[in-house]
Structure 1
């Protein structure tokens, strides 16, 4: 037999053995199919309540899902409330330190662009910060000196006009629609005098504690100066140090939220200063045209009051209206009131949206609630700090809620270290 015939026979035997094995396997499957009974597919068993990841026992599974969610939210809100209350208590205990630091942050946000401008001129950072701080102090001191001098010079005349105004009110109470008798008017005056005499002790105690209050004010002023200087000079280094205290995965988000919050605070403070200056200029011009006394001190009061949105401008404008009422009468007072309302409408509908923009846009209801809460917690300082604090927290929360941008898989990552050989 030739070699070719042997190869052909081997291939035939292999093919026949393969066919035989397939035939045997098919017969075995048919035999098993005939032996095993057919069963219908039963519905899947109901899920075990304990399989729910939000429950830990069968008793929890019996509680409605909505009630479990409400309870989970409730205890978390209680924890957050307790932490917030403890934080407020801690801030209240060290308020003599926190208030100057808050004022220093506001001043730093206001003066930071001036420091940056000097740095672009190649001025050393410490010298630039010192020059900006000194110029700011000189401007504030000059303004206060001018305001106090004008107020002291015109106070006697205003006192006489106020006495005349009180007498006119008494005459109006007797001859006007109230028709009060002299005895009733004298009784009201006696009650006011009795109230002053009854509160003499509290007034005296306040005067006795004036020395301690003055010491606290001086200490707080020095702390504001030093804090502002170091915030302007080393603010970036301080923030980086604080960010490094947190876990690595949270540093990027915190750094981004901090930068955005600082930009918001700076925009808010600078816009508030500009709006306050425009308000003071408008009302001051109206007072000068109407020959109302103390135009510059009242304009300065309007400027300071504008730092408390909505409420501050209204209160300072009311003071200007009262001064006009005492000195010039009802007609001039009504004209001043119209000027104040016009300036406030211009501020609310044009200046605030145009200057502040969307970066620090806060609903007026939130502003009112924040100012009221700030007054209850920390008085005038709380009213001053509450709105910028809300603006900063709004920006920070929005940034922290964003997702961190993911690096595409085909992106090229550049490192400072050379690749391993």
Structure 2
């Protein structure tokens, strides 16, 4: 063993000597001038005066040319092309939705009705009703309530039209007298000229109004088809909505299922709370304004209250416009003093709704800034008319809840029926 160690030591010394000899034989590699390496070689840490430092490569650059572009400009360009792609995709989706709006709008209305009627179905299920029977009873009961209300409104309106027409003529004559004797002091010739201009404008736009009416008559089949689709979709949403949602969630990757399921169920709860709160607020608005209409003996009190109820489904704007109609009817029927009182009642009810009912009933879960509500309603009117105005605010509320849940860093709670498999420690 000692001899082997000695031989290994001598072999290592011989290798070191041969290495130094080879280094002395090639002086160009050690910094000494030679034909192959003229001049001393610079050390790695040396700095060459007058030379431009190489451009630093960034993780966001793919070539040296990108480093010549300022970082802020590269970030702005990256944002721009991504926004362009998002805009193109959004435009394509809007075109698709506009093309199949005859299907999208009934399905949206069916979802709103399902969110409204779902608690009633749940009560019947707790009473041990079969699911199909509970859904049918709730759907038929809701349909009967809507048809009965519309029948009462139409009958009362038909009965009061002659009286309202007569009072409207009297109101027009009072306005003409006020224009003559009031601060404007208009003459008969001026009044006749303005009346003739208004009549000419109506005659000139008769064709447009008629074509609109014909177009409306032509879409009667589409309305009937949409109504049937709403009824069928509402029935199946109420009966099989949970199974439909599970099927859609299972189409997603496994890693995203829990997050999407949590966001979807929270959004559905928000939609249900919004619809039920809106119905309650609309009912309170209609009762409040209707009481004043009855007290001052305004004609069409019940139809006007029903109009306020329907208009309240368009937040901020709808109830105000329906209240203006009630004020105009009061002006024609009972004069300016009563109209001012009804206007004050409408404004008071709106203030109570905005500052008491909305925060108290809807709560923080569906709280939306008024600016977002106004912008959403305007966009909905431009894109889909009245239906867009009705759907805009609940859509914003649902998207608000979904985005908040998806952006949250917390992990959703484990479902009660989940099975957790744990490996045994080694």
> What TM-score bracket applies, with the shorter chain setting the length?
0.7 to 0.9
Is the 8 Å Cα contact of residues 50 and 57 (structure 1) preserved in structure 2? no
Aligned to 1:311: 317
Offset of 1:60 from its aligned partner? 1.4
**Which residue, 214, 217, 227 being the options, matches 1:208?**
214
Aligned to 1:252: 258
**Which residue, 102, 119, 140 being the options, matches 1:134?**
140
Identify unmatched segments of 5+ residues in structure 2.
21-29, 31-41, 414-418
Do residues 157 (structure 1) and 173 (structure 2) align? no
Offset of 1:180 from its aligned partner? 1.4
Instruction: Supply the distance in 2 between the matched residues of 1:44 and 1:230 (Cα, whole angstroms).
Output: 78
Offset of 1:40 from its aligned partner? 10
**Which residue, 132, 154, 172 being the options, matches 1:166?**
172
Instruction: Supply the distance in 2 between the matched residues of 1:308 and 1:44 (Cα, whole angstroms).
Output: 73
Instruction: Supply the distance in 2 between the matched residues of 1:375 and 1:47 (Cα, whole angstroms).
Output: 60
Is the 8 Å Cα contact of residues 108 and 231 (structure 1) preserved in structure 2? yes
How is 1:96-135 mapped onto 2 (pairs within 5 angstroms)? 96-135=102-141
Offset of 1:403 from its aligned partner? 2.5
CA deviations on 1:344-378 (whole Å, 9 max, x unpaired) are 00000011011111110000000001001111111
Is the 8 Å Cα contact of residues 371 and 382 (structure 1) preserved in structure 2? yes
Aligned to 1:346: 352
**Which residue, 274, 281, 285 being the options, matches 1:275?**
281
Instruction: Supply the distance in 1 between the matched residues of 2:211 and 2:192 (Cα, whole angstroms).
Output: 29
Offset of 1:196 from its aligned partner? 1.5
CA deviations on 1:261-319 (whole Å, 9 max, x unpaired) are 10010000000001101111100011111111111111100000000000001101101
Instruction: Supply the distance in 2 between the matched residues of 1:173 and 1:200 (Cα, whole angstroms).
Output: 28
**Which residue, 225, 229, 246 being the options, matches 2:231?**
225
SS of the equivalent of 2:61 reads coil
Is the 8 Å Cα contact of residues 57 and 64 (structure 2) preserved in structure 1? no
Is the 8 Å Cα contact of residues 253 and 404 (structure 1) preserved in structure 2? no
Do residues 356 (structure 1) and 368 (structure 2) align? no
Identify unmatched segments of 5+ residues in structure 1.
1-12, 408-412
Aligned to 2:26: none
What TM-score, normalized by structure 1, do the two folds share? Answer: 0.86
Instruction: Supply the distance in 2 between the matched residues of 1:207 and 1:384 (Cα, whole angstroms).
Output: 22
Instruction: Supply the distance in 2 between the matched residues of 1:351 and 1:131 (Cα, whole angstroms).
Output: 31
Is the 8 Å Cα contact of residues 116 and 272 (structure 2) preserved in structure 1? yes
Instruction: Supply the distance in 1 between the matched residues of 2:412 and 2:119 (Cα, whole angstroms).
Output: 33
Is the 8 Å Cα contact of residues 289 and 305 (structure 2) preserved in structure 1? yes
SS of the equivalent of 1:310 reads coil
Instruction: Supply the distance in 1 between the matched residues of 2:220 and 2:197 (Cα, whole angstroms).
Output: 33
Aligned to 1:178: 184
Do the aligned partners of residues 114 and 48 (structure 1) sit closer, same or farther apart at CA in structure 2, a change above 3 Å counting?
farther
Offset of 1:51 from its aligned partner? 3.0
Offset of 1:389 from its aligned partner? 0.4
SS of the equivalent of 1:331 reads helix
Is the 8 Å Cα contact of residues 275 and 351 (structure 1) preserved in structure 2? yes
**Which residue, 88, 91, 95 being the options, matches 1:89?**
95
Do residues 382 (structure 1) and 393 (structure 2) align? no
Q: Which moved more, 1:196-205 or 1:122-131?
A: 196-205
Aligned to 2:416: none
**Which residue, 256, 263, 271 being the options, matches 1:265?**
271
